[in-house]
Amino acid sequence: MNLPFINRVFAQIFFLVLLTACQSLAQASYSKIPLDKLESAFEQYKEPAITHRRFKHADLQPLIQKHSAAFRVEKLGESVDGRSVSSMDWGKGKTKVMLWSQMHGNESTATMALFDLFNFLEGKGDGFDDLRTLLHTQLNLKFIPMINPDGAEAFKRRNSLDIDLNRDAIAQISPEAVILKSARDSFEPDFGFNLHDQQIYYNVVNTPKQATISVLAPAYNLETEINEVRGNAMKTIVGMNEVLQQLIPGQVGKYDDAFEPRAFGDNIQKWGTSTILIESGGYVGDPEKQFIRKLNFLIILNALHQIATKGYEQYTTEQYFSIPDNGSQLMDLIINEMQVKVKDKLYPIDIAIRRRESEANGAYYMAGSVEDLGDMQVFFAFETLDATGLVYTSGKVYPTAFESVKDISEDKALELLRQGFLAVKVKTGEARQLHELPVLVLKTTEKFSGGWMTGSSPNFFLAKDGKLKYAVVNGYLIDLENPKKQEFKNRIL
């Protein structure tokens, strides 16, 4: 009997069994991180210097430098207007992960979450040290928190060349696109996270639920085929979705995976990096996206743990495709069966209104617009009114000018609305000024726009038998008989 040979065989078998068991344990372990523990980590490490989503490049520089001891900070280049684009590296593992945010300047939710994550990764002695050690030894992380600093400065989507950076992956006209491509090529990440915000009107298709988070493993070719690289991204998303369903059940959507040959996400997938798109949408009562910031923190940390342990391997691409698609069926306000008079005949129509964010005098406000009308039964809204028997009625301008906005109380504004006045004039103040009143304020004109057709500013009344029942001011519905106390700051212009 050849005992040395048998011993070697048993040793090899034992090693394989042990290795398989360790791999299985590692793959299963990531999902066992309690959600409440992750939530407590966010609350503990949330970056206090960022409290809203309209921050600028200069606001981030001291925060980046704060982490320069724990992270390897590198200036990658400069934007069109000369602002620095920096990366922050952490970890010494073999698996490389690159995360980039704010390619679109006004899409800042994930950027906030990254700075929360930086604080977490630098922490210690809080019960998370084993997790940090795992991530540090298994992963090599490269963060680029703000790719488009010029767009962030103006809080707009495009860069200073008016180019959409997410359509500049191939031509690389913009210096910011060159920076991102060069970072990917030199780092050669195994996984990539493309972090964005989407409009708040995306819903989970054919449901009234807002798509608070949308995900995608982008296609790498026109045929939208699935190889190992893309498949690993899909599987990781499944694990992220498990976390999200505990917090926002039914509010996760999946983007259409049609291949976009100019986009960074699609091409980085094509270049061999398992790429995950995260889009932060809307959540009722969270205009500054602080709750969605938390969701980003949780799912990014979850995904990094999956990647470090290969926990994503327990999932399937079929589970990814079971995530419902995104829709674009949400409105702010739908008024059903409103009667409009055309050539002395009344027509019942549904009217759908959206309020989009705009800027004036360095501040932000909401500008309402009639999005569509006719039969709106395929749409959903945050607020719906059955206007059966109510007739569209135009409003008037109150003839006597007030000295300033301060001379008009909310009660006075409501009194004027009940008398049929949708707008007031003031003698002093800015030509376009924000205020908190449920009425239009005019400074340099005695006219205001209003109507019910598509593209119109939704400023009008709804009346029954000649009595005014509701006012619609800049797309906000006001019940004149039972007005609710509303906060109009940064809403009415």
List, for residues 86-131, the tens digit of each pLDDT value: 999 999 999 999 999 999 999 999 999 999 999 999 999 999 999 9
The pLDDT of residue 435 is: 82
The pLDDT of residue 488 is: 56
Neighbour-count burial for 172-198, b at 16+ CB within 10 Å, e otherwise: eebbbbebbbebbeebebbbbbbbbbb
Name the most confidently modeled range: 35-49, 421-435, 478-492. Answer: 35-49
Residues 36, 53: contact at Cβ < 8 Å? Answer: no
Closest listed residue to residue 492, CA positions, set 430, 444, 448, 437: 437
d(CA 320, CA 262): 24
Where does the pLDDT of residue 20 fall: very low under 50, low under 70, confident under 90, or very high at 90 and above? very low
491 or 196, which is more confident? 196
The pLDDT of residue 486 is: 64
Q: What is the mean pLDDT of residues 221-243?
A: 98
The pLDDT of residue 37 is: 87
Q: What is the mean pLDDT of residues 62-72?
A: 97
Where does the pLDDT of residue 358 fall: very low under 50, low under 70, confident under 90, or very high at 90 and above? confident
Closest listed residue to residue 261, CA positions, set 299, 223, 211, 294: 223
The pLDDT of residue 428 is: 87
The pLDDT of residue 157 is: 96
The pLDDT of residue 401 is: 93
Supply the pTM of this predicted model: 0.90
Give the list of residues 6+ apart from residue 1 with CB closer than 8 angstroms, or none.
none
- The one-character DSSP state at 429 is S
pLDDT above 70 (res 482): yes
pLDDT one-digit tens code per residue, 157-173: 999 999 999 999 999 99
How many distinct helices (H) and strands (E) make up the chain? 12, 21
Q: What is the mean pLDDT of residues 268-297?
A: 97
List the beta bridge partners of residue 179. Answer: none
Q: What is the mean pLDDT of residues 144-167?
A: 97
Neighbour-count burial for 309-335, b at 16+ CB within 10 Å, e otherwise: bbbbebbebebbeebbebbebbbbbbb
The pLDDT of residue 443 is: 84
Q: What is the mean pLDDT of residues 251-277?
A: 97
The pLDDT of residue 361 is: 65
d(CA 417, CA 421): 5
Lowest mean pLDDT among 37-41, 273-277, 319-323, 380-384: 37-41
Q: What is the mean pLDDT of residues 401-413?
A: 92
Q: What is the mean pLDDT of residues 302-321?
A: 97
Mean pLDDT score across all residues of the chain = 91
The pLDDT of residue 62 is: 98
The pLDDT of residue 33 is: 80
pLDDT above 50 (res 29): no
pLDDT above 70 (res 136): yes
Q: What is the mean pLDDT of residues 145-163?
A: 97
The answer to whether the Cα torsion of 88, 90, 95, 97 is positive or negative is negative
Closest listed residue to residue 447, CA positions, set 425, 427, 478: 425
493 or 225, which is more confident? 225
Q: What domains, with CATH codes, occur in the chain? A: 21-327 (3.40.630.10), 330-479 (2.30.40.10)
The pLDDT of residue 360 is: 67
What percent of the chain lies above the pLDDT cut of 90? 84
Q: What is the mean pLDDT of residues 432-436?
A: 76
